[in-house]
Structure formats: C-alpha cells, structure tokens
Amino acid sequence: EAQVTQNPRYLITVTGKKLTVTCSQNMNHEYMSWYRQDPGLGLRQIYYSMNVEVTDKGDVPEGYKVSRKEKRNFPLILESPSPNQTSLYFCASSSPSGGAVETQYFGPGTRLLVL
Amino acid sequence: DAKTTQPPSMDCAEGRAANLPCNHSTISGNEYVYWYRQIHSQGPQYIIHGLKNNETNEMASLIITEDRKSSTLILPHATLRDTAVYYCIAYHYGQNFVFGPGTRLSVLP
C-alpha cells in the first residue's frame, strides 16, 4: 500500500531536549516536505526536498533541521525545541511532472507538545 | 503569503453541487492551480490540479477562467463526508507550497 508514515504520532517533550520526527515513503517519490499546522495559521511549509541531498527552506524553517540522505526518508530535527514549536506536523511526498507535482501524499500527522 | 483568496466558509445541501471559488489574480503563467481538502486534523487529501484547461476526475471538476485569474472547484453531488476545509493553491515546481486559510465547506443534510 502506498503510504507516508510518521513516527511518533504523539510526543510530549520538554524545552531544549533534542528530538527527531521520522518520515518515510514507499512510493519512490523525489519530492518530500514538512508542514506544521496551528490554529488560525493554517498549514505552513517548513522545509522541502526535491531529491536526495537537496533541501530548501519553506516559510517557517527557524528552529528546524532536515536531511535527505536517502530517497525514502526525510527526518525533521528539532535541536532545541521550544514551546512555540508545539504544533501538528505533517510530512508529504510526491513526484514532479513537468512544472507541477503530482498528488502530494500526506502522512497521518505528529502531534507535538513542548513543555 | 498565499497567492490565492477563498471565502472562509460555505454551506451546501447534501446531494447538490458544491461550487467553491478561488481567486488567483496574480498567478504566473507557469503556476498550476491545485485543490486539496482536509477533514478534521487528518493529512490533507489531493483533489485535482490544472494549468489552463478544465479538468475532471472521479472526485471533482476544476474550471479555470480563460484569463486564469480565478477558478472553481465543483463537487457534483456533495455528501456529508465532503464536509472539510478546501484549499486552493497556486504552485510551480521548485516553489514553496503555500496553503492559505481555505474554505470551510459544510454539507448539510
């Protein structure tokens, strides 16, 4: 089954404790991205990657890191989480087609609470 | 900032067509119009996308005006399960993918 998986699905942590949210897709997609969603602010792109070893900043990259060492994985790293990073996070993947991307498949989301 | 504007909310009677408008008056010639929807806090779901021509798939139809400054997503026979937030996005590969606040569609029995 084609899917994007994220782990963990729920996480409670404390300020400053490094964490990684994993994202994996089994569709051989080149394009992967991370979003956060907050009430009243909608979905905002954090980082995206158009292929292995290629990453670019989205609209809200501050406080986050990503890496794309393998095509299937795109982990999101919070080196020193702060309470303002409490949010619902989504990973997505797709394949490019000309100037477009085909369907972006979204993961189930990771709900993060930073105390 | 999002390059599109949508009404914040709409209602539609079950079984009727839902027509969701989107304004993208500053869209570039190479930017596609995408529609996604999100039900509760699930991951957004792709609906349809197009560049110039009208498009139709099993979920919906996309009507893009000739000047490409606006478009309409049509759900031909709305059901209660179509209640969701619908996002219209203007995008070209390599750009940031920007979701706006979307339109909250309520399908009423």
Name the residue facing B99 among A43, A98, A100 (closest C-beta): A43
Q: Which residues of A touch B102 (CB under 8 A)?
A: 42
Q: For residue range A16-60, what is the model confidence (pLDDT) as tens digits?
A: 999 999 999 999 999 999 999 998 888 999 999 999 999 999 999
> Does any CB of chain B come closer than 8 Å to the CB of residue A38?
no
pLDDT band at A101 (very low <50, low <70, confident <90, very high): low
Q: Give whole-number Cα distances, B98 to A62, B13, B95, in Å.
A: 17, 30, 9
Q: What is the DSSP letter of B13?
A: E
In the block, which residue shows the tokens 């979204």? Answer: A106
Residue of A nearest to B103 (CA): A42
d(CA B73, CA A23) in angstroms, rounded, equals 31
Query: A43 and B94 in contact by Cβ < 8 A?
Result: no
Predicted local distance difference test score (pLDDT) of residue B63: 97
Whether pLDDT at A86 is above 80: yes
Q: Look at A100 and B44 and tell me if their CB atoms are within 8 Å.
A: no
At B109, is the pLDDT very low, low, confident or very high (cuts 50, 70, 90)?
very high
Q: Find chain B residues with C-beta within 8 A of A59's C-beta.
A: 96, 98
